[in-house]
Amino acid sequence: MAAVVGRLTGRPGVCIATSGPGASNLTTGLATATTEGDPVLAIVGIVPRAQSHRHTHQSLSIPNLLSSVCKSVLNVDVEDQVSEIVLRSIRTASQFPQGATCFAIPMDVAQSTTKVPAFDTKAFSAPKYGIAPASSLEAANKLVKEAKFPVLFLGMRAGSPEVVRSVRGFLKRCPLPVVETFQAAGAISKDLVHLFAGRVGLFRNQPGDKLLATADVIVCVGFDAYEYDANVWNSNSSDATLIHIDYHEADYGVHYSPEVELLGSIESNLDLLSPSDKIYSRPEVTAVCLALREELSAWKATAKSQSQPGGLVHPLHFIALLQESLSEDTLVTVDIGTVYIWMMRFFYAYQPRRLLSSNGQQTLGVGLPWAIGASLIQDPPCSQKVVSLSGDGGFMFSSQELSTAVLQKCNITHFIWNDGHYNMVEFQEVMKYGRSSGIALGGVDFAKFAEAFGAKGFRVEKAEELEEVMAEALAYNGVSIVDIKIDYSHNLELAQDIIPEDYR
Amino acid sequence: MAAVVGRLTGRPGVCIATSGPGASNLTTGLATATTEGDPVLAIVGIVPRAQSHRHTHQSLSIPNLLSSVCKSVLNVDVEDQVSEIVLRSIRTASQFPQGATCFAIPMDVAQSTTKVPAFDTKAFSAPKYGIAPASSLEAANKLVKEAKFPVLFLGMRAGSPEVVRSVRGFLKRCPLPVVETFQAAGAISKDLVHLFAGRVGLFRNQPGDKLLATADVIVCVGFDAYEYDANVWNSNSSDATLIHIDYHEADYGVHYSPEVELLGSIESNLDLLSPSDKIYSRPEVTAVCLALREELSAWKATAKSQSQPGGLVHPLHFIALLQESLSEDTLVTVDIGTVYIWMMRFFYAYQPRRLLSSNGQQTLGVGLPWAIGASLIQDPPCSQKVVSLSGDGGFMFSSQELSTAVLQKCNITHFIWNDGHYNMVEFQEVMKYGRSSGIALGGVDFAKFAEAFGAKGFRVEKAEELEEVMAEALAYNGVSIVDIKIDYSHNLELAQDIIPEDYR
Amino acid sequence: MAAVVGRLTGRPGVCIATSGPGASNLTTGLATATTEGDPVLAIVGIVPRAQSHRHTHQSLSIPNLLSSVCKSVLNVDVEDQVSEIVLRSIRTASQFPQGATCFAIPMDVAQSTTKVPAFDTKAFSAPKYGIAPASSLEAANKLVKEAKFPVLFLGMRAGSPEVVRSVRGFLKRCPLPVVETFQAAGAISKDLVHLFAGRVGLFRNQPGDKLLATADVIVCVGFDAYEYDANVWNSNSSDATLIHIDYHEADYGVHYSPEVELLGSIESNLDLLSPSDKIYSRPEVTAVCLALREELSAWKATAKSQSQPGGLVHPLHFIALLQESLSEDTLVTVDIGTVYIWMMRFFYAYQPRRLLSSNGQQTLGVGLPWAIGASLIQDPPCSQKVVSLSGDGGFMFSSQELSTAVLQKCNITHFIWNDGHYNMVEFQEVMKYGRSSGIALGGVDFAKFAEAFGAKGFRVEKAEELEEVMAEALAYNGVSIVDIKIDYSHNLELAQDIIPEDYR
Amino acid sequence: MAAVVGRLTGRPGVCIATSGPGASNLTTGLATATTEGDPVLAIVGIVPRAQSHRHTHQSLSIPNLLSSVCKSVLNVDVEDQVSEIVLRSIRTASQFPQGATCFAIPMDVAQSTTKVPAFDTKAFSAPKYGIAPASSLEAANKLVKEAKFPVLFLGMRAGSPEVVRSVRGFLKRCPLPVVETFQAAGAISKDLVHLFAGRVGLFRNQPGDKLLATADVIVCVGFDAYEYDANVWNSNSSDATLIHIDYHEADYGVHYSPEVELLGSIESNLDLLSPSDKIYSRPEVTAVCLALREELSAWKATAKSQSQPGGLVHPLHFIALLQESLSEDTLVTVDIGTVYIWMMRFFYAYQPRRLLSSNGQQTLGVGLPWAIGASLIQDPPCSQKVVSLSGDGGFMFSSQELSTAVLQKCNITHFIWNDGHYNMVEFQEVMKYGRSSGIALGGVDFAKFAEAFGAKGFRVEKAEELEEVMAEALAYNGVSIVDIKIDYSHNLELAQDIIPEDYR
């Protein structure tokens, strides 16, 4: 929840926990925030300093433990440090690459007082970076201008409203074909969608992958390989020249060795980039874009008929209906699992940070808590509908938070794509080993589950029920769970037709 | 689950997880196992070695992360190490102090093969330690013999069947007053119960605490301060002489500085200890024991009448009924929360490892998973009733495991003491600050919750319903949840009458 | 030696060591480089991967050990990483704040081959940062313009030739009073010296300290508190407004909380700063500068007469003579000890990186090795005189490197200020405790020592011998040691007249 | 120096250092002590707690740094811990496997006072372990009794006087052929020497290696693979059954998987071992022993004639003369380098801890400092001659300590085998690559060097001078250095005739 607050506001979401398991239970959440660039501040307790080297209840070296998953973990060694440590922790979390920080207060320090006052509010703002050297900007402009087929590739740090504004401005000045990672979802507005070849990520078989494989120059904006390994999307790395635009230097490697780095404010550097206005109008570029756009939209025509009457709901059927049912500005959070592959490929988003997924650690269970966190920072809190989705396996990782959602009076509709299995593991096991193992779940009635928590439960067992139930659930003002029996018989297709290394 | 397998069998329970959040989700479980002395082996995946320093999906430094909560974390650096690493990990977990170990397999190593065969089964047994030097044994015998009021204090490593056998033998040879920590529950058999002054732990106000404060020599057997700080139970440390009997050296400190250490096999050293057979027959010792026994049993007379007709169930009412309903050899697991203070003080156990609690990390949520783990190692699996208890808050920490219990066809009755709050935090907040904060829960119907999972749900809303519902639930062959509205109005009493430092 | 190569060239000096003590012997050198901002790459061996978890000759966890003293330590886990790891290590060392990086090669990996080629030379350049946001630049200009008494404060990252060029340009556009830390020595050219209030560092009693205490706005350029704690020079921190100009964000604290940060290229940001050309001409500013200049130069008049005929050499006598004897572009390295306080306060330098000291870790023994390293990168190698100084205690920390100096045919004159004690520890012990302890050395004849190594030995026992011996030693083409009996009877004065907190 | 105090007394040698480089300079020494089993306590300073997270002079995370080379590093977090931390650090260092511990005192804590008094002296003794289980002792006796060719193998923890006493007692009860590692030198007394097949270590080509390869049961006493990899001496590991006798469990591996472990007090377990008194009298055993004894002693006949008149001193010539010149109880320390291979193979020792080498980390430079440390703990200090040896390269690693030796008035004769090269690296480079690189030294006159320090210098340039100079140097009461031009033309022979894997 703290992570989604950070992702949506750009400022650290704060969480607090007691010593021992209180602190260690934060591990996965903090790891996810740090990997995926969400500013978070965790405040945890530890045993009194006099006990620091002895066995005692809940003794655990929190700084050692959490420093593997945080940008910094500071122990308050004496009370007069606390003001400085709060400031540093917030600044560090806020600075790009944003992530989690933590400070730990020994019980005896917590009971003492400090004579050092808190810092002024303005000290808490993140350090501000400016623009790249003129020579680098020039070099980047020149590379794009002279390219035959330059492409814009938007990554996780291109998904913030600030950067999206500059991305759109750039594309208006210089229309380039564009592709995005899952966490950049929403960067391309409707009026620019003719340039857009879709999202890329798990399995290199998407239209966007073909676009990248076609490019001779790729302008990477806020890209982080946590989302998508460069040795996958750029396997034939000698072919394309990369330009790296980010708050900080590239994670340089064999398949990601940019020719030019534009470091500093992504927005400011993008605003200064203006290589040419003619690229999209080149016939060969237009042709590729049109073909990819067609490939991208083709599924919609038959989406609803993928489900058979009396049969289970096909994922594309669901997605087409959901897309029609929601306004552009409804926030949708998607948990990990097969549901995330379908949704992040096919669900459209035209506004920044309206379609969220965990694409670095791929952490199961984020769907519902993120929907709660997003509800709580609405103004007024919980005033608008938030939609979340998960598989049945992923839902169980944090299902008890339904209690929080109800207690906080959220307005959330959570859809469960229920196949009674850990399907994303299952189909990859089948792909690798020809059989699956250890993936059976099932037997849980999620509609009844919802009611046990005082939420509203819905159930879709046949495809033809979907439209009406979805409408009813979305209209319900409060917390509701929709348990949908999903048709996962086509999932192996998600990993088919991997693009060969020598594509271009 | 793996930890309870370790605790019950003395051999490592094994768990396995994928990379990233798969591994990090093990953190709290492994920390609990290591602190509380349960042998566990965790096997986790990590990214391919070629990606080890790059950003990639689910990259996380597992060895750095988990080494804070494990006895050892070994990375398989090359395939030919794997046989050795499996052996070392199991030996290290098995060796006292037992705890969790882990090894991590990079994805590319997992796909290769090794020419080094697995070790023989017998190599996997833990190193065997023998007896202390004769001079130390003599010194210990002399100290006890010459003591005016020697007391036996049993800690977590005195709770295994092997040590319990020797403890009982020793007490038959040399009847001493005896006290135990929560994890030593069950060490004293019915025929020795006249020597027994009960359990000590959270809050120094128990009969057993008075016994320790009276003693001039305390024989500490398998004691670990993770359970109970020596600066609490031995605050006036200059008064008592300590003898430390354990597999390994004392965690020496200001309040725990034993005069003699008997290191090696606890069982063997205890078997060689025989200071005198007269101690309990000293009138001043007998008198104290009788008085403490009386204090210990007094509650039973009025237990059932603590609940008012039409009112909520009083904890002592529940405990008295549960005690009558179960045979001595039924395993009972108790989750953390106020329920654990009541149960670990008042529920009797006469066999080793039949009453289990988490008394080192005090980890919420262990109740149900431990009941499942214990069921799975029954012979045949899930053949006998296991009882688990938790508060409503603690239950939610692992409530989704109900699905596992049902899928595995366990025979578990789980009682929830439901007050709609994190009560153990609440009453301590009130004690410290005069008010509580952030502890409200509630609104969950656990009987309906059970049914959502295909388990049987029961509900006790008035005290007079308890007896019948408890009987029905225990008779139910399968998984059942009993949601009991509990009367927590007396909980501040649990922390009253703390023994003053100058007690003796 | 590698560190001074890094400090002088701005590119990583490289050192290599075998496993075990080979690697661990690098610890202090790498710590010094990382703290003091010198780019260094260390390449070390470790045991074969198959032995990584076993006891074996020279097993030592190098990554764990050296990661405390390096910016990064990468283990080559598989051979195909090596090209990437070399690149990353060099880029990381080169990036500001520059420092040491390390990679470790297991013996079996060292014996294998990789199919991944080395990166292009151009990939090895450090990431390039540009200028701060316009709003920050404006704010900085405004603060200085509106200040009553703004001061420029140059720190360790203001000592490179690139930054010095911009500092001088700035001072010509906008003459401000200026002060520098020890590692910024040489930033102020002769034509700007009227603005210069000298260096500050150990003991807050210098003219420069008075200047800082007088300022209402302090422009900190490349300042790092490793050199001089802000809670010392800015103890009354509410009085002055700070502007932070550096490659990266401030190490924010109670006494160092800048109002504005200008991040990115120090040089580019300085080039854009142009608040006013009138500051120095304000009468109150001029008056202070003149007074401080006078205070700074006063010692010279009597320097040579500080030594008594027949007596020992007084430090100021030595410094005055040395200054006269050397051209502006002779490199002088100064080891830690009392000699460093005297030299860094009184020895003038007008070119960047011509007067070097270790002012972060204050590492004893750097004098001679730095002189060797500096000689080796001359073109042609060892073609020009390098001068180094140390105390007798500090000299002994690395005295064996004299062999290297001779074998490499360096042209070095090394002066030893010999008082037979660890004097810098001694006089501070006297200040704190009224007596000294454990500081006696002595009995070494350093002229004979030099000859044992095939170097030339000189000896100065009386003040009147100094001039001639110094001339002879500096004229000697090769390696020479000058053993000077120094007069340390006045050293307590170095710590006198500490500026009070409420100075302004 | 602290390490040799630990090695000789069995109790921690203590060293102390200031913050920053003071502490980091201890790294190699502590690593060596921990690896080689020498108890040491290091006390170091760190920056004040309020500065712990800021940049400041000499800030360095000492606990992180030194924990890689120490058994424990404890930070004094509050003043009242200091008594406990001193106790724990000494107990931990003293406990087997002995090694280095450290505690760090922040400057502000050092200036405060504690109300917790120091512990009683007796608390500081190491935990005492007793004997193995009877069943293990029986199993061990049975294995040896039934063996055809059992062998006793003494490792580093069999070199203490306590264990040596038991080893000799055992061999008298049960005469077995015996072999030792370098650090066990001196375990076998003259009256047992007929059982002794010499030392094994670097290069598997020694008589002792043949003995091990012949054995069907090997009784390993205090063996640690830090000295000699089991995959070298036991490469054909399926052939021999191992018995492990040590204070603690085996470092189990593919080539070291003992059938029986006898854990606890090595001495006590050895005292209880008595399998048979007939083993050595078996003809096949006697025959092998006699042959190996002959092989071992053969060199002596021609040792002195290995040097040619007018030529350099041959190592065996030197060793034969030195052996004749010293009494059995003179302490000899041997630095690392080729000198260590020659000495540890050929120099006899009949008393425990009289011939010392660094055989775990193989740390260059230990020779002279160990001789100083050993001198200082003599009673009275520096009252007896100590002999140390090194190569010219190794000597330079700590040559400045000559000043300490002189100041402390030691009585040390230090022999330098001078060939002007890092010969041990050189000849192994030639063996591996056919050429050498980076190993040239030379040009230092060590006799003159000695005199620069006020020590006595000697020089041997021709073989025929050796006898007289050695006598004179050993007779000199004070510190002397003997610079010997050594004949290293035969060193490749040291690595010849490696025993094949299928030897038996």
pLDDT per residue as tens digits for the range C417-474 = 999 999 999 999 999 999 999 999 989 999 999 999 999 999 999 999 999 999 999 9
Query: What gap in Å lies between CA D356 and CA D372, rounded to an integer?
Result: 13
Chains touching D, CB cut-off 8 Å, 3+ pairs: A, B, C
User: B229 in contact with D at a CB cutoff of 8 Å?
Assistant: no
pLDDT category of residue B421 using cuts at 50, 70 and 90 = very high
| Paired tokens of D356 | 């010392």
DSSP letter for A421, please: B
Average of per-residue pLDDT across D99-125: 94
Q: What is the pLDDT of residue A503?
A: 64
Tokens 């120490």 found at: D70
Q: What is the pLDDT of residue C235?
A: 86
* Chain C residue with minimum CA distance to D20: C361
Average of per-residue pLDDT across B191-213: 96
User: D54 in contact with A at a CB cutoff of 8 Å?
Assistant: yes
Chains touching C, CB cut-off 8 Å, 3+ pairs: A, B, D
Look at D443 and C55 and tell me if their CB atoms are within 8 Å: no
User: D84 in contact with A at a CB cutoff of 8 Å?
Assistant: yes
* Chain D residue with minimum CA distance to C440: D407
The residue type at C351:
Q
| Paired tokens of C168 | 């001088």
Query: What gap in Å lies between CA B88 and CA B102, rounded to an integer?
Result: 10
Taking only the tens place, the pLDDT of each residue in D392-413 is: 999 999 999 999 999 999 999 9
The burial of C468, by beta-carbon neighbours within 10 Å (0-12 exposed, 13-18 middle, 19 or more buried), is given as exposed
- Find, among C60, C401, C100, C45, the residue nearest to D30 by Cα: C60
User: D77 in contact with A at a CB cutoff of 8 Å?
Assistant: yes
The residue type at D391:
G
Look at A74 and D81 and tell me if their CB atoms are within 8 Å: no
Lowest mean pLDDT among A116-125, A414-423, B309-318: A116-125
Query: What are the φ/ψ torsions at residue D56 (nearest 5 degrees)?
Result: -160, 165
pLDDT category of residue D238 using cuts at 50, 70 and 90 = low
| Paired tokens of D173 | 């009860």
User: Is the pLDDT confidence value at A504 over 60?
Assistant: no
User: C268 in contact with A at a CB cutoff of 8 Å?
Assistant: yes
| Paired tokens of D184 | 């066990």
Residue ranges of domains in chain D: 2-114, 134-296, 303-494
Residues of B8-17 as b/e, b for ≥16 C-beta within 10 angstroms?
bebbbbbbeb
**Average pLDDT of chain D to the nearest whole number:** 95
Q: What is the pLDDT of residue C281?
A: 85
User: A200 in contact with C at a CB cutoff of 8 Å?
Assistant: no
Q: How far is B94 from chain C (nearest CA, A)?
A: 18
Q: What is the pLDDT of residue A237?
A: 64
Taking only the tens place, the pLDDT of each residue in D164-180 is: 999 999 999 999 999 99
> What are the residues whose beta carbons fall under 8 Å from the beta carbon of A335, sequence distance 6 or more?
A357, A358, A364, A365, A366, A367, A368, A388, A389, A390, A391, A394, A395
The residue type at A133:
P
Among partner residues C225, C452, C454, which is closest to D56 by beta-carbon distance?
A: C225
| Rounded-to-5 percentages of helix, strand, coil across chain D | 45, 20, 40
Q: How far is D48 from chain A (nearest CA, A)?
A: 10
In angstroms, how far is CA B17 from the centroid of its own chain?
Answer: 25
Residues of B52-63 as b/e, b for ≥16 C-beta within 10 angstroms?
bbbbbbbbbebb
Look at D444 and C225 and tell me if their CB atoms are within 8 Å: no
| Paired tokens of B425 | 């935090």
Look at D50 and A78 and tell me if their CB atoms are within 8 Å: yes
pLDDT category of residue C280 using cuts at 50, 70 and 90 = confident
User: Is the pLDDT confidence value at C138 over 80?
Assistant: yes
Tell me: domain D2-114, CATH 3.40.50.970, correct? Answer: yes
- Would you say B414 and A414 are in contact if contact means Cβ atoms under 8 Å apart? no
Query: What gap in Å lies between CA B391 and CA B491, rounded to an integer?
Result: 14
Average of per-residue pLDDT across B74-88: 96
Q: Which residue stretches of D95-241 are H helix?
A: 107-110, 134-146, 161-173, 207-214, 230-233
The residue type at A11:
R
Taking only the tens place, the pLDDT of each residue in D317-339 is: 999 999 999 999 999 999 999 99
Look at D35 and C60 and tell me if their CB atoms are within 8 Å: yes
Mark residue D337 as left, alpha or beta (left: phi above 0; alpha: psi -120 to 50; beta: remaining).
left
Looking at the structure, give the CATH architecture of the domain made up of residues D303-494. 3-Layer(aba) Sandwich (3.40)
Q: What is the pLDDT of residue B177?
A: 97
Query: What gap in Å lies between CA C163 and CA C220, rounded to an integer?
Result: 13
* Chain A residue with minimum CA distance to B25: A28
Kindly list the residues from chain B whose CB atom is less than 8 angstroms away from the CB atom of residue A225.
54-56
pLDDT category of residue B100 using cuts at 50, 70 and 90 = very high
Beta strands in B192-304 (DSSP E): 196-200, 217-221, 241-246, 260-263
The answer to whether D2-114 and D134-296 have equal CATH topology is: yes
Task: Look up the pTM and report it.
Answer: 0.96
User: B88 in contact with D at a CB cutoff of 8 Å?
Assistant: yes
Look at A448 and B452 and tell me if their CB atoms are within 8 Å: yes
Please spell the DSSP secondary structure of A203-256, one letter per residue: SS-SHHHHHHHH-SEEEEES--TTTS-HHHHTSSTTS-EEEEEESS----BTTB
- Picking from D116, D128, D260 by the largest number of B CB atoms within 10 A of its own CB, the best residue to mutate is D128
- Picking from B52, B77, B81 by the largest number of C CB atoms within 10 A of its own CB, the best residue to mutate is B77
Terminal-residue alpha carbon distance, chain B? 43
Tell me: domain C134-296, CATH 3.30.390.50, correct? Answer: no
| Paired tokens of C145 | 């313009």
Query: What gap in Å lies between CA C331 and CA C355, rounded to an integer?
Result: 6
Among partner residues C55, C251, C396, which is closest to D251 by beta-carbon distance?
A: C55
| Paired tokens of B182 | 């929560």
- Picking from B51, B75, B78 by the largest number of C CB atoms within 10 A of its own CB, the best residue to mutate is B78
Q: What is the pLDDT of residue B491?
A: 92
Query: What gap in Å lies between CA A136 and CA A273, rounded to an integer?
Result: 11
| CA dist C236 → C216, C231, C496, C502, D179 (Å) | 11, 8, 20, 7, 71
Q: What is the pLDDT of residue B132?
A: 97
Q: What's the complex ipTM?
A: 0.96
Query: What gap in Å lies between CA C295 and CA C315, rounded to an integer?
Result: 18
- Picking from C78, C79, C85 by the largest number of B CB atoms within 10 A of its own CB, the best residue to mutate is C78
- Would you say D328 and D387 are in contact if contact means Cβ atoms under 8 Å apart? no
Query: What gap in Å lies between CA D285 and CA C121, rounded to an integer?
Result: 66
Look at A53 and D78 and tell me if their CB atoms are within 8 Å: no
pLDDT category of residue D236 using cuts at 50, 70 and 90 = confident
Longest Cα–Cα distance in chain C = 74
Look at C362 and D32 and tell me if their CB atoms are within 8 Å: no
| Paired tokens of B441 | 């829960």
User: Is the pLDDT confidence value at B61 over 80?
Assistant: yes
Average of per-residue pLDDT across C176-190: 97
**Average pLDDT of chain C to the nearest whole number:** 95
DSSP letter for B303, please: G
Average of per-residue pLDDT across C6-10: 98
**A200-A202-A205 Cα angle (round to 5):** 65
Query: What are the φ/ψ torsions at residue A491 (nearest 5 degrees)?
Result: -70, -25
Kindly list the residues from chain D whose CB atom is less than 8 angstroms away from the CB atom of residue B130.
130-134, 136, 263-264
Query: What gap in Å lies between CA C94 and CA C124, rounded to an integer?
Result: 9
- Would you say C467 and C309 are in contact if contact means Cβ atoms under 8 Å apart? no
Q: What is the pLDDT of residue B29?
A: 98
User: Is the pLDDT confidence value at A430 over 70?
Assistant: yes
Q: What is the pLDDT of residue C273?
A: 95
Q: How far is D483 from chain C (nearest CA, A)?
A: 12
Q: How far is A129 from chain C (nearest CA, A)?
A: 6
Tokens 């070199």 found at: D159
- Find, among B159, B164, B174, the residue nearest to B223 by Cα: B159
Query: What gap in Å lies between CA C29 and CA D25, rounded to an integer?
Result: 9
- Would you say B471 and B415 are in contact if contact means Cβ atoms under 8 Å apart? no
Average of per-residue pLDDT across A31-47: 97
* B478 CB neighbour count, 10 Å cutoff: 15
Q: What is the pLDDT of residue A474?
A: 98
pLDDT category of residue D237 using cuts at 50, 70 and 90 = low
